[in-house]
């Protein structure tokens, strides 16, 4: 909602810039999409490595 309000403010102040931003937004989103996918994959791998590294400590400190 805040993004939309900022865009409306930009539309009032500088309409050509707001229209260019509106047209370029999907292109920028498509360009940044692979970086988001890689970030999700790297986060998953790091969480898996952390779980494997801390598994012995969690097993040894477990109370029955």
Q: What is the pTM of this model?
A: 0.61
Quote the CA–CA distance of 51 and 45 in Å, as a whole number.
10
Quote the CA–CA distance of 64 and 30 in Å, as a whole number.
51
Would you state the structure tokens that stand for residue 15, as one six-digit string?
């309409």
**63 pLDDT more than 90:** no
**24 pLDDT more than 90:** yes
Domain-by-domain residue ranges, the chain? 2-60
**48 pLDDT more than 90:** yes
């Amino acid at each position: 909602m805040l993004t939309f309000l900022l865009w409306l403010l930009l539309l009032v102040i500088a309409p050509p810039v707001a229209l260019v931003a509106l047209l370029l937004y999907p292109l920028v989103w498509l360009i940044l999409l692979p970086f988001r996918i890689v970030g999700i994959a790297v986060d998953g791998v790091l969480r898996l490595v952390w779980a494997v590294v801390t598994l012995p400590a969690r097993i040894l400190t477990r109370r029955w």
